[in-house]
Structure 1
Amino acid sequence: MSDALRPLSRPRLYEQVVERLREYVQSESLHAGDRLPPERDLAERLGVSRTSVRQALVALEVQGLVDTRHGGGTYLLRDRLDAEPLETMIDRRRRLPDVLDARDALETKLAELAATRRTDKDLSEIEAALAAMREAVERGELGVPEDRRFHAAVTAAGHSALLGDFMAEISLSIAESRTESLRQPGRPAQSLEQHRLIADAVRAGDPAAAARAMHHHVVTVGQVKLLDWQADDSD
């Protein structure tokens, strides 16, 4: 039976608040570090409840676009509030735990193998990727391409064709989990330090330490606000 006459969806109220906030940031030429008006003021000016404003701000915080400080207001982390559609966030939250399980299983083993199979060329690429990420973090960037390069270097150093194929098959999902993690406040610098520990263990030829370091890193990747966020479907 055709679904052409399926029920129409309507934007949730707090999604409309997010859109108005995006327009406000653009029209006022606000930038990262600038503070948004207080919740009470936003609610009054938009003609909505503070609950709807709070839901909008939480959704923006989950996406790494704002930082809400308890008792200190809400500050922009980016120059633009280019928020994702709610359905995209819900779908990614649903898939993320499985992706993290797969990353832990595959990358922990690959790090272990890399510590015993790496060549001088592999070590050079791992060090180059690490240096590139350090430079990106120092520039204040998330370091997403550099993070991808590091993990690709460790995968290559594992010299396991089949595990490499498995990694390639889930590369898009891995990319999502990487971006989700690195947009957490303070995460790029933390990730850089964890990468350094992985690289040290691989260089030292210590497979147990490399596996531990990679496992700890993937656990940290999973510590994101998205997994604690609950979309309110009642609006």
Structure 2
Amino acid sequence: MKIKGNKLYQRVAASITAAIEAGRWSPGTRLPGERDLAEEYGVSRPTIREAMIALEMKGWIEARHGSGLYVTLRDHGTGQREDALNFDVGAFDLTEARILFEGEAVALAAVSITDEQLDEIDALLVEMAAEDSNEPSVMDADHRFHLAIANATGNAAIRSVIEYLWELRTRSPLAANMFARAKRGGITPRVEEHRPIVAALRARDPHAARTAMRRHLRGVVDDLLEATELEVMERARSELDARRDSVARRLKIGSV
């Protein structure tokens, strides 16, 4: 089924809530798996993942027992469904835009970057790799690393666009939620993925720079997919551990 509307994940989420309200999936019912939903709606797995997280944030669905996502018992109402699901840009769409813009920006930077700008980017790489760096400082250095490359293009409009894309990481509730899930899953900027970018800039090789940046940002997409999937699994594991503890306590009482 192909769907029409504004943001793709919002259209999928709205369609699923409409199906829930129409009785296709009643409270307590398990939703189909990601692959099945992706095939049904004619979208990618990342889009389905964003839609599922949006629905979970609003309480339409919940992860349960490691067996998938289930419709909740909550009375959601019908009047403001689309507004309730409008979380703006998701992390996958945002990163896709970064692949496009930052991939071309780094290629332009490779032919216009100065030695002083290269030294600044090198210093940021060292800052990211420092053993005593904590997570906030690494994230800040990563942010400044990418903006320094945008600045090296010599094009103020390009820098503004890339800066805006970075701002969306925190301004968009859905993107912020997804990156927070990745952070809880232990996902942090990988310094080794940044080194080929710097090497290509030093070589003044736009093609290698574009390839390295795109490879790095595709790795961000993979990390997001893994982190959001692992979070569901971790919930299930915690729930299973709690059940085991409960059973162990009961058996201990019975053996006294």
TM-score, reference length from structure 2: 0.48
Deviation at 1:52, TM superposition (A): 4.5
Change (3 A) 1:91 1:146: farther
- Structure 2 counterpart of 1:162, which letter? A
Aligned counterpart, 1:197: 196
Of 112-121 and 152-161, deviating more is 152-161
Pairwise CA RMSD: 3.7
User: Any unmatched runs of 5+ in structure 1?
Assistant: 1-50, 56-89
Deviation at 1:222, TM superposition (A): 1.1
Aligned counterpart, 1:171: 166
Aligned counterpart, 1:162: 157
Deviation at 1:54, TM superposition (A): 5.2
Where do 1:85-104 residues align within 5 Å? 95-104=90-99
Change (3 A) 1:186 1:138: farther
Q: Deviations over 1:38-72 (max 9, x none)?
A: xxxxxxxxxxxxx74659xxxxxxxxxxxxxxxxx
Change (3 A) 1:181 1:228: closer
Secondary structure (helix, strand or coil) at the match of 1:183 reads helix
**Is 1:129–1:153's contact at 8 Å kept on the other side of the alignment?**
no
Deviation at 1:114, TM superposition (A): 1.2
Where do 1:48-127 residues align within 5 Å? 52=64, 95-127=90-122
Deviation at 1:95, TM superposition (A): 1.5
- Give the counterpart of 1:141 among 135, 138, 146: 135
Q: Percent identity?
A: 27
Q: Name the CA distance, whole Å, in 2 between partners of 1:158 and 1:101.
A: 20
Deviation at 1:169, TM superposition (A): 2.5
**Is 1:144–1:182's contact at 8 Å kept on the other side of the alignment?**
no
Secondary structure (helix, strand or coil) at the match of 1:117 reads coil
Q: Name the CA distance, whole Å, in 1 between partners of 2:216 and 2:158.
A: 19
Structure 2 residue 132 is the aligned partner of structure 1 residue 132 = no
Aligned counterpart, 1:151: 146
User: Any unmatched runs of 5+ in structure 2?
Assistant: 1-62, 68-84, 233-256
Secondary structure (helix, strand or coil) at the match of 2:135 reads coil
How many residue pairs get aligned? The number is: 148
Aligned counterpart, 1:214: 213
Change (3 A) 1:53 1:217: same
Change (3 A) 1:230 1:120: closer
Deviation at 1:141, TM superposition (A): 3.2
Deviation at 1:140, TM superposition (A): 5.8
**Is 2:91–2:169's contact at 8 Å kept on the other side of the alignment?**
no
Aligned counterpart, 2:37: none
TM-score, reference length from structure 1: 0.52
Q: Name the CA distance, whole Å, in 1 between partners of 2:133 and 2:160.
A: 33
Aligned counterpart, 1:183: 183
Q: Name the CA distance, whole Å, in 2 between partners of 1:155 and 1:213.
A: 15
Deviation at 1:165, TM superposition (A): 1.6
**Is 1:144–1:179's contact at 8 Å kept on the other side of the alignment?**
no
Q: Deviations over 1:177-211 (max 9, x none)?
A: 7955962756446x200111100100111110000
Q: Deviations over 1:112-168 (max 9, x none)?
A: 011111001110110011010001x55463621111111111111122221112122
Deviation at 1:215, TM superposition (A): 0.3
**Is 1:93–1:227's contact at 8 Å kept on the other side of the alignment?**
no
Change (3 A) 1:206 1:132: same
Of 160-169 and 147-156, deviating more is 160-169
